[in-house]
Amino acid sequence: MLKLEKRPTPSVFWGRATPVLAVALTMVAGSLMFAALGKNPFEAIRTIFWDPLFGEFAWYLRGQLLVKAGPLILIAVGLSLGFRAGIWNIGAEGQYIMGAICGAAVGLAAYPTESRLIFPVMVLAGAFGGWVWAMIPAILKTRFNTNEILVSLMLVYVAETVLAMASTGFLRNPDGAGFPGSRNFSSYPAAANPELLAGTGLHWGGVAALGAVVAAYVLLQRHILGFQIKLAGQAPRAARFAGVSPNRLVVMCLGIAGALAGLAGMFEVTGPAGQISIDFNSNYGFTAIIVAFLGRLNPVGILFAGLLMALTYIGGEMASTNLGLPSAAIQAFQGMLLFFLLACDLLTNFRIVPARKEVR
């Protein structure tokens, strides 16, 4: 028999190694799942993890990597701050949608004016939209002690309804012959978020994501606020002893996460998506939760985790077209990754030892 023994100090080695181990285990379990679906598991794994980077269409797909990773990283960095502090904002999807709607609304209101100021104002509006949506659970939590998990999640459903209203109502393209969906930003240069370097897939969202990673890294390593976030998550009473105000932390963490999610939505709608439509949202807000954990709530880790998760998206689409692998299989695959990660985390804080033989 084996038993667990708590380590006196968390293991640094396993802290780094668990994500790698989790990815490996997920590949094994995923292969079994693909095989059960009647697909060649090796081919499936290759199509998902290898082909987008080095295969025939890599020249195009590599660019897609940044397109998908940008919003995931941006959202996950914001979420990770809250998760570290024990503040569980799981409504990033809603904040993402609201950021997109607010950003787009400002741009569409200015249509067809051409001004260099329009895009920056839209960026601010996007961040503001996400921030406002996140402030609802924040204020309810600080004022009424309401559970932020449930409120932020309920607001996702509300945001989805607002999105439907926007695309069929107040943001609908007046020249669109009554079809749902807003004007397309690709035909409105002042408000568009184009690819910055041809072929890289890098747009302003990717730049913002990198900036967020750097800022979060500095915050967590060098700034007292980052220290307070970590402290509040690990030992809430010690945080209060240290003089950290829990309410201030809730407002800040949810605010930052909301603003970043809003930014991601705004960059997405003006760039890759191009317009507000009913199915504009694509679960980035939920997948970012996996990214945050996979990156071990560490900004640099999140950078890599975001790229890896983007790879599974792109590779998944490839596998779907080439091998007929259902797209839901990729969703299950991503969920599995989170499972293995949480399970492997055990090794950071515990040691597995053979149980001593009992003496009678």
Partner 1 sequence: MFGGIDPALLIASLMVASVPILLAAIGELVVEKAGVLNLGVEGMMIMGAVCGFITAVVTGSPALGFLGGAAGGAGLSLLFALLTQVMQANQVASGLALTLFGLGLSSLLGQGYVGIKPPHTGVVPFGPLADIPFFGKVIFGHDPLVYLSVLAVAAVWAFLRHARGGLILRAVGESHEAAHALGYKVRRIRVLAILFGGAMAGLGGAYVSLVRVPQWTDGITAGAGWIALAIVVFASWRPWRVLLGAWLFGGITVLQLNLQAAGSGIPVEYLSMSPYLITILVLVIMSSGRGRAALNAPASLGQNFHAAR
Partner 2 sequence: MTAAETGAGDLLRIEGVTKAYPGVVANSDVSFAIAQGEVHALLGENGAGKSTLVKMIYGLVKPDAGRMIWRGAPFAPSQPSAARSSGIAMVFQHFSLFEALNVAENVALGMETPPPMRELAARIRAVSEEYGLPLDPSRMVGDLSAGERQRVEIIRCLLQSPKLLIMDEPTSVLTPQEVEILFQTLRQLRSEGTSILYISHKLEEIRTLCDRATVLRRGKVVGACIPRDSTAREMAEMMVGTTLTPPERRATEKGEVALGVSDLSVASPIPFGTSLKAISFTVARGEVLGIAGVAGNGQDELLLALNGELRVAPDRVRIHGKSVGDLGPTDRRRAGLVSAPEERLGHAAAPNMTLTENALLSGAVRQGLTARGFIDWRGTEAFAEKIIESFDVRTPGTHVAARALSGGNLQKFVVGRELLQSPEVIVINQPTWGVDAAAAAAIRQAILDCAAGGAAVVVISQDLDELLEIADSFAALNEGRLTKPRPVQGLTIDEIGLMMGGAHGMEVAHHAG
Can you give the binding site for partner 1, defined by CB under 8 A?
Answer: 4, 6, 37, 83, 88, 90, 140, 143-147, 149-151, 153-155, 157-158, 161-162, 164-165, 286, 289-290, 293, 326, 328-336, 338-339, 342-343, 345-346, 349-350
Phi, psi values for residue 6, rounded to 5°: -70, 135
- Residue from the set 16, 32, 199, 222 that interacts with partner 2 by CB under 8 A: 222
18 vs 228 by CB, closer to partner 1: 18
Q: Is 1 helix (H, G, I), strand (E, B) or coil?
A: coil
The identity of residue 88, as a single letter, is W
CA 95 to CA 284: how far, in whole Å?
A: 11
The identity of residue 354, as a single letter, is P
Q: Which two tokens stand for residue 204?
A: 């302003």
* 224 contributes a contact to partner 2 by CB under 8 A: yes
CA 131 to CA 151: how far, in whole Å?
A: 15
- Residue from the set 146, 168, 184, 245 that interacts with partner 2 by CB under 8 A: 245
Task: Give the per-residue contact string, 179-218, with partner 2 (x = CB under 8 A; - = no).
Answer: ----------------------------------------
Note whether 26 and 294 are within 8 A (CB).
no
For residue 236, the minimal CB distance to partner 2 (Å) is 9
End-to-end CA distance of the chain: 17
Residue 225, contacted partner among partner 1, partner 2, none, CB below 5-8 A by kind = partner 2
Using CA of residue 324, residue 330, residue 312, residue 186, what is the dihedral sign?
Answer: positive
Closest by CA to 203, choosing from 193, 211, 212, 213, is 193
- Residue from the set 20, 28, 117, 242 that interacts with partner 2 by CB under 8 A: 242
For residue 356, the minimal CB distance to partner 2 (Å) is 6
Binding residues for partner 2, per CB under 8 A?
A: 5, 8-10, 222-225, 227, 230-231, 234-235, 237-243, 245, 356, 358-360
